[in-house]
């Protein structure tokens, strides 16, 4: 539904990400409204781990909407997501930091009345200093009446119309069981997706109900074993409502006995938390497996086609990453 470009503000000389609405068939009015809603919602949310939206407008040339947002680039100057991370370079402290950041931002959007509905590795951007930023609210659902009224939103779920069969939103593999069965996604569904994502980051194994991967979690340094199984509870009512409590639990109690922890080898001092990124094709294979969408659209203007707004000039098109 959208193509993402790197653009430069002509007057300010500052680079932004610009997401432009592109036609891909379907109910154009509904899709356009959904696109506008994404921009309006993001503009109202404020968190260091969310992409900020600065402008929402219509392209003069095509009449299509676009919104301008914060450009999140990794330390190699390219847009990267958690899909691009080389797990052979990951340590638990880094994963813990990401969990704290994502759990807090997911907690925040839930309190604001938004269910993301598509939390996955490919929708979490990495910033140049190794922090994570949640992106792509294209299939999010607003359950706060106030927010819906503020942004004059129609929800993206086709199921909320009365005539069409329920359409399941999200990505297979990350999807909560109740959502896969066709029930409406609640904040608990985001919690489940978060759990799937972090089981993978910690163990390299895709969680599936019945998996014995929790045995592996028991060997890790932090108390993931007290946190992730709760997020992955089959019954959404059993998943924790307050993610910040889990963060506190993880931070407060190390899994290893104190004497073991004291004798754990020290890592050499790090100059800077580095997120080593794999540029190899492996990420592309995983991306294809989880239904990662390429953001390049035939209907989108080319990188040299400066038609969005006189204020911006296009500097690049992101074919493998989205915001």
Partner 1 sequence: MSMFPPTSMTLLQKLAVEVTGGNEAAWVRFFNLYTPAIRRFVEWNDHVHDPDDVVQEVYLKLVEIIRSGKYDSDKARFRTFLALLIRRQLITLYRQDQTRHVADRCSIDDLTEELSVPSGQQEQVDLDWAKAKHEAAVEHVLTKVAMKQQSRDIYRAYMIENRPIDKISKTFNVSTDIIYKVKNRVNKMIEAVEMEYAEEKI
Name which position in 162, 163, 267, 304 contacts partner 1 (CB under 8 A). 267
Residues 198, 86: Cα–Cα separation, whole Å: 14
Q: Give me the numbers of helices (H) and strands (E) for the chain, helices first please.
A: 10, 9
254 makes contact with partner 1 (CB under 8 A): no
Q: Does 164 bind partner 1 (CB under 8 A)?
A: no
Which of these segments, 27-35, 150-158, 260-268, 313-321, binds partner 1 (CB under 8 A)?
A: 260-268
Q: What is the 3-state secondary structure (H, E, C) of 19-76?
A: EEECCCCCCHHHHHHHHHHHHHHHHHCCCCCECCEEEEEECCCCCCEEEEECCCCCCC
The minimum distance between CB 180 and partner 1, in angstroms, equals: 9
The whole-angstrom separation of Cα 184 and Cα 196 is 19
Q: Does 162 bind partner 1 (CB under 8 A)?
A: no
Contact code string over 219-248 relative to partner 1, x by CB under 8 A = xxx---------------------------
Decide if residue 269 touches partner 1 (CB under 8 A): no
Q: How far is the CB of 291 from partner 1 (least distance, A)?
A: 7
201 forms part of the interface with partner 1 (CB under 8 A): yes
**Nearer of residues 57 and 97 to partner 1, judged by Cβ:** 97
- Tell whether residue 62 is a contact of partner 1 (CB under 8 A): no
State the Cα–Cα distance between residues 21 and 5, nearest whole angstrom. Answer: 11
Question: Site size for partner 1, by CB under 8 A?
Answer: 37
**In the chain, at which residue ranges do the beta strands (DSSP E only) sit?**
2-9, 15-21, 53-58, 65-69, 114-115, 124-126, 132-134, 141-142, 312-317
Contact positions with partner 1 (CB under 8 A) in 88-107: 88-92, 94-95
Q: Least separation, in Å, of the C-beta of 203 and partner 1?
A: 6
Residues 236, 237, 240: CA angle, nearest 5 degrees: 90
Helix, strand or coil, per DSSP, at residue 260: helix
Assess contact for 102 and 132: CB atoms under 8 A.
yes
Q: Which stretch binds partner 1 (CB under 8 A): 87-95, 110-118, 225-233, 292-300?
A: 87-95
**Euclidean distance between CA atoms 301 and 290, whole angstroms:** 27
Q: Rounded to an integer, what distance in angstroms lies between the CA atom of residue 15 and that of residue 312?
A: 9
- The correct pick among 202, 228, 246, 283 for binding partner 1 (CB under 8 A) is 202
Residues that bind partner 1 (CB under 8 A): 87-92, 94-95, 172-173, 201-206, 208, 210-213, 215-216, 218-221, 260, 263-268, 289-291
């Amino acid at each position: 539904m959208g193509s993402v470009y790197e653009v430069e503000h002509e007057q300010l000389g500052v680079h932004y990400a610009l997401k432009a609405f592109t036609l891909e068939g379907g109910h154009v009015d509904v899709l356009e409204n959904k696109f506008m809603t994404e921009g309006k919602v993001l503009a109202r949310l404020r968190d260091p781990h969310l992409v900020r939206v600065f402008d929402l407008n219509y392209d003069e040339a095509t009449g299509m909407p676009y919104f301008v947002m914060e450009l999140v680039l990794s330390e190699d100057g390219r847009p990267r997501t958690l899909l691009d991370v080389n797990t052979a370079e990951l340590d638990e402290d880094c994963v813990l930091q990401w969990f704290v950041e994502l759990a807090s931002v997911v907690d925040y959007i839930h309190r604001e009345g938004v269910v993301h509905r598509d939390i996955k590795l490919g929708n979490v951007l990495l910033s140049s200093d190794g922090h994570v930023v949640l992106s792509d609210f294209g299939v999010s659902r607003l359950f706060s009446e106030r927010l819906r009224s503020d942004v004059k939103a129609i929800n993206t779920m086709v199921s909320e119309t009365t005539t069409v069969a329920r359409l399941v939103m999200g990505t297979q593999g990350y999807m909560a069981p109740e959502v896969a069965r066709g029930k409406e996604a609640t904040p608990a569904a985001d919690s489940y997706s978060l759990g799937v994502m972090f089981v993978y980051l910690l163990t390299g194994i895709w969680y599936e109900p019945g998996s014995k991967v929790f045995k592996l979690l028991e060997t890790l340094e932090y108390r993931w074993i007290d946190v992730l199984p709760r997020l992955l509870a089959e019954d959404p009512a059993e998943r924790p409502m307050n993610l910040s409590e889990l963060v506190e639990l993880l931070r407060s109690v190390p899994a290893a006995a104190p004497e073991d922890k004291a004798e754990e080898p020290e890592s050499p001092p790090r100059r800077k938390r580095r997120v080593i990124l794999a540029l190899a094709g492996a990420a592309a294979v995983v991306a294809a497996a989880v239904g990662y969408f390429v953001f390049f659209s035939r209907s989108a203007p080319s990188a040299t086609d400066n038609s969005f707004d006189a204020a911006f000039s296009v500097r690049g098109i992101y074919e493998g990453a989205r915001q």
